[in-house]
Amino acid sequence: MKKFDGQVECHRVERSDDKTPIPIVLLNETFAKFQDNCQHIEFGQNDCEFVAELCGDLSSPYDSKALFAKKARELLTDYLLDDNTSPTIRPATVDGSWSDGSYRIGETLLLNLTCRLQKGDDGGDPTMEGVAYYIKMLPKVIDLRYPCFLVDIFGLLMSAFGIVNSGDEEVICEPLIVSFPLLYLYDESMLVPLIRMCVSLKTAVKELTDECNKISGGRGRSVTCVSSAALKRLRFPDKDSVEVNGARTTFEYHEMIYRYVFKARHGDRNVIIKFSKRYGREVHEYCWKAGFAPELLFYDSLPNGWVFIVMEELPLISLCMAKDRAIVRGQLHKIKKALSNASFVHGDLRENNVMWDSVKNRVVLIDFDWSGKD
């Protein structure tokens, strides 16, 4: 387990390069939209009727897992894939791994269903069985990300996970929402989130289907080899461009610095890209104009509350490496006074966030996640 910014993250293991894996919602936008929709998406009578049927049928006793899985598969097929021309969710086996319900476009897996009459039946962990099935469904030569939903139904609990490859040797799987009991619930605070999860899953599956058909139609032939640059791109977030005044600006990722911060290139300019759940944009812009912060180049809001920040890269070193401590103290005093006069607070003035610009000989503030009005 690791502890970052007070949050314990026990499901993230170290990558082969000793970096913390990127959250799955930043690797594919469909996962981020799914999480966002689970909080806000609207639903109708058909969605309520489906959830009522799902709870009623799956909360009944079954003599075998096969019958239970068959009923779950039929219900999800009719609801998620209401277009009769679409492939169905069907049981499948690949290299010894069994799927209670596999939804594929061609050979690309978009959703996998695992069922148990109760958790612990048949031995092994059902979610890990879904992960194994996904891995075995990946093509031999990988040049793209292959996002997929893993739906687990353990007796009266329904869960949804996202899984995607971040290269040709690594896969990331994360829960996208809490598990829900499939019971007749008269508590609206519990029933409504279950309905929203089902509607969000239906929306996400359609989005993955459309994207998969678009990619399949444009490729024309199977891939036999992949460049190292193409594989390296899969290790970075999906977001690599912004649109300003109708023109699209793109970025090329080079290196992960830590967590959600990356070195990148924009044209002939080196930049820093950061993803955050909160950011003091107004304070950052004020500090840049006042001369003690990197220039904020781009700022874009993403689904599920994330923000995409691009700033100039500066030649920064630790304050303790500055030659004249008196100059440092004087500049720090001026910065403190300037922020106070503007009624701003930085909120996180640890040593890693107060740096020295070795070219312009100035103190620079970075990391405005907790900054705002005083």
Is the residue at 233 inside a domain? no
The verdict on 285 and 141 lying in the same domain is no
The verdict on 184 and 274 lying in the same domain is no
The verdict on 302 and 357 lying in the same domain is yes
The verdict on 151 and 265 lying in the same domain is no
The verdict on 161 and 273 lying in the same domain is no
Are 288 and 296 in contact, with CB atoms under 8 Å apart? yes
Tokens 């969605």 locate to 47
Q: How many domains does the chain have?
A: 2
Is the residue at 215 inside a domain? yes
The verdict on 200 and 75 lying in the same domain is yes
Tokens of 94: 């690949």
Is the residue at 67 inside a domain? yes
Q: What is the rounded distance in angstroms from the CA atom of residue 298 to the CA atom of residue 312?
A: 10
With b for 16 or more beta-carbon neighbours within 10 A and e for fewer, the 27-65 pattern comes to: bbbbbbbbbbbbeebebeeebeebbeebbeebeeebeee
Q: What is the pTM of this model?
A: 0.89
Instruction: Write out the H or E segment, with its range, that includes residue 269.
Output: strand 269-276
The verdict on 59 and 105 lying in the same domain is yes
The verdict on 43 and 176 lying in the same domain is yes
DSSP for residue 86: S
With b for 16 or more beta-carbon neighbours within 10 A and e for fewer, the 236-273 pattern comes to: bbbbeebeeeeeeeebebeebeeebbbebebeeeebbb
Range of the domain at 80: 2-219
What's the chain's length in residues? 374
Is the residue at 118 inside a domain? yes
Is the residue at 367 inside a domain? yes
Q: What is the rounded distance in angstroms from the CA atom of residue 245 to the CA atom of residue 12?
A: 38
Is the residue at 226 inside a domain? no
Is the residue at 345 inside a domain? yes
Tokens of 235: 């290790």
Which one of 219, 237, 271 terminates a domain? 219
Query: What pLDDT is attached to residue 186?
Result: 73
The verdict on 299 and 190 lying in the same domain is no
**The domain spanning residue 283 has which CATH number?**
1.10.510.10
The verdict on 186 and 308 lying in the same domain is no
The verdict on 201 and 341 lying in the same domain is no
Is the residue at 268 inside a domain? yes
Please report, in tens digits, the pLDDT of each residue of the chain (374 residues total): 344 444 444 445 555 556 678 999 999 999 999 999 999 999 999 999 999 999 999 998 999 999 999 999 999 999 999 765 668 999 999 998 999 999 999 999 999 999 999 877 776 788 999 999 999 999 999 989 999 999 999 888 999 999 999 988 899 999 999 999 998 667 788 889 999 999 999 999 999 999 999 887 655 455 566 778 888 999 999 999 999 888 899 999 999 998 899 999 998 999 999 999 999 999 999 999 999 999 999 999 999 899 999 999 999 999 999 988 899 999 999 999 999 999 999 998 888 899 999 999 999 999 999 999 87
Instruction: Write out the H or E segment, with its range, that includes residue 372.
Output: strand 372-373
The verdict on 27 and 135 lying in the same domain is yes
